[in-house]
A and B are shown apart, each in its own frame.
Chain A
Amino acid sequence: MKRLLSIGLLLAMAAVPVGASTFLKMSQQELIRDSAAVVQGHVIKVSSFWDATGRAVVSEALVRVESKILGDAPSVVVVRTFGGTVGNFTVEAHGFPKFQVNDHLLLFLEPEQDGATRVAGYQQGQFRVVRDKSGAMLAVPTFEGATLLTRDGRAAAPAKAIGLDELKQSIRNEARRAGRVVYEN
């Protein structure tokens, strides 16, 4: 279903202004620096719960890894984010990554202290993988409620959808320059 959505529709969805948190714009180089791995895969399960401190609702997505682009990752990774619904209570974490079962994603993964991972750069490290009308695979940036601040005094330009292979090759090239292990699959 996701794959059949047109890019135009996805971009329209991404343009809906919602609540915001504020983040610093990160370059691909910075995303790679902060990431232990970059993977492509499908979300197979999402669960939300109160964290161990009882202070925050978090969600964990199980992502079946179908392709590793950079670094090492198990066949299924646990990706944690803030917000979610527990019972009839919902916490909306504005600007944080969100997951739904069957989402096809490319993720920059940053290790957490307890073995789980989070998406590096918040939504900046999350791309939705979709097929356009011509059949080409595209990586569409996720931006729902994020406010981005550039480092150099300019407004952050909205990221654009690019070819999936182009993005993956760009990541590999950048990672090689940083001396990281990459996969050519």
Chain B
Amino acid sequence: MKRFVPFTTAIVLSCVVAGSVSAYVLLSPRRTWDSPPTLIVDSRGLSSVTDGDLGRTRTRNAIVSTSAWNGAGTGTRINASVGSVSGWAMGDGRPMLNFTDPVRACTGSCLAATFTGYYQSRGNGTYRITDADIVTNATGYNWASAGEACSSEIYVEGVMVHEVGHLLGLGHSSVAGATMYPSVAYCDNGPASIATDDRNAINDLY
């Protein structure tokens, strides 16, 4: 039970779509990027992260780490840089991770939301992803980054590596311990490192 902290403060992200098949799932319709996208990570960071950098560099580093998607064995899958997301928009071909929510899509009970855009079929049954964007409910919840003391915070790296999995075209896995497993405990940054199932998923897709 690597993912769950056995304390009363542990909170579990639980997906209601627990599957019976013990393997990864690709988003349907199947969709991929033509070349590794470069995700712009919001340079404003998250105010609740106290690593001295508001979590922006650690988030970027986690996304491109060889412990994550770029270490799956088939080369670089995602690039990322810290930068301005002032031009955040769906469909502009510039994937962005926004630490706020400029369109008020993710409020109240929403913690983070992912939007995936794709054009029509390439003609072979697959779709080309042209943009994907993530927004965050920064003020409604407490966020932390790896190494920080944590009691009831959500580690931003783990969540965002998971979200980037969706951005790349992955669905949820029913394999406990996988990054794309739809559950993660508070104060558990395990999803920042991909598992064999995640590796199989990304290598199937690309």
Q: Which residues of A contact B (CB under 8 A)?
A: 14-26, 30, 34, 51, 53-57, 82-83, 88-96, 121-122, 124, 143-156, 158-159
In the complex, A122→B112 CA distance in Å? 12
Please tell me if the beta carbons of B9 and A153 are within 8 angstroms of each other in the complex: yes
Query: Which residue of B12, B103, B115, B170 contacts A153 across the interface (Cβ within 8 Å)?
Result: B12
Q: Which residues of B contact A (CB under 8 A)?
A: 7-19, 25, 27-28, 88-91, 102-103, 105-106, 108-120, 130, 159, 166, 170-172, 174, 182-183
Smallest CB separation, A29 vs chain B (Å)? 13
User: Could you tell me the dominant secondary structure of chain A's interface residues?
Assistant: loop
- Residues of chain A within 8 A (CB-CB) of B119 are 88-90
Smallest CB separation, A117 vs chain B (Å)? 14
Please tell me if the beta carbons of A17 and B11 are within 8 angstroms of each other in the complex: no
User: Could you tell me the dominant secondary structure of chain B's interface residues?
Assistant: loop
Please tell me if the beta carbons of A148 and B115 are within 8 angstroms of each other in the complex: no
Please tell me if the beta carbons of A51 and B103 are within 8 angstroms of each other in the complex: yes
Q: Known contacts A147-B182, A153-B9, A153-B11; is A122 also within 8 Å of B115 by CB? A: no
Query: Which residue of B12, B16, B115 contacts A83 across the interface (Cβ within 8 Å)?
Result: B115
Please tell me if the beta carbons of B91 and A18 are within 8 angstroms of each other in the complex: no
Please tell me if the beta carbons of A93 and B115 are within 8 angstroms of each other in the complex: yes
Please tell me if the beta carbons of A21 and B114 are within 8 angstroms of each other in the complex: yes
Please tell me if the beta carbons of B91 and A89 are within 8 angstroms of each other in the complex: yes
- With both beta carbons as reference points, the residue of chain B lying nearest to A25 in the complex is identified as B109
Please tell me if the beta carbons of B105 and A82 are within 8 angstroms of each other in the complex: yes
Query: Which residue of A20, A147, A151 contacts B11 across the interface (Cβ within 8 Å)?
Result: A151
Please tell me if the beta carbons of A57 and B16 are within 8 angstroms of each other in the complex: no
Smallest CB separation, B37 vs chain A (Å)? 16
In the complex, A54→B13 CA distance in Å? 32
Please tell me if the beta carbons of A149 and B91 are within 8 angstroms of each other in the complex: no
Please tell me if the beta carbons of B111 and A88 are within 8 angstroms of each other in the complex: no
Please tell me if the beta carbons of B14 and A121 are within 8 angstroms of each other in the complex: no
Q: Known contacts A55-B89, A55-B90; is A19 also within 8 Å of B116 by CB? A: yes
- Residues of chain A within 8 A (CB-CB) of B7 are 153
Please tell me if the beta carbons of B174 and A17 are within 8 angstroms of each other in the complex: yes
- Residues of chain A within 8 A (CB-CB) of B27 are 18-19
Please tell me if the beta carbons of B12 and A57 are within 8 angstroms of each other in the complex: no
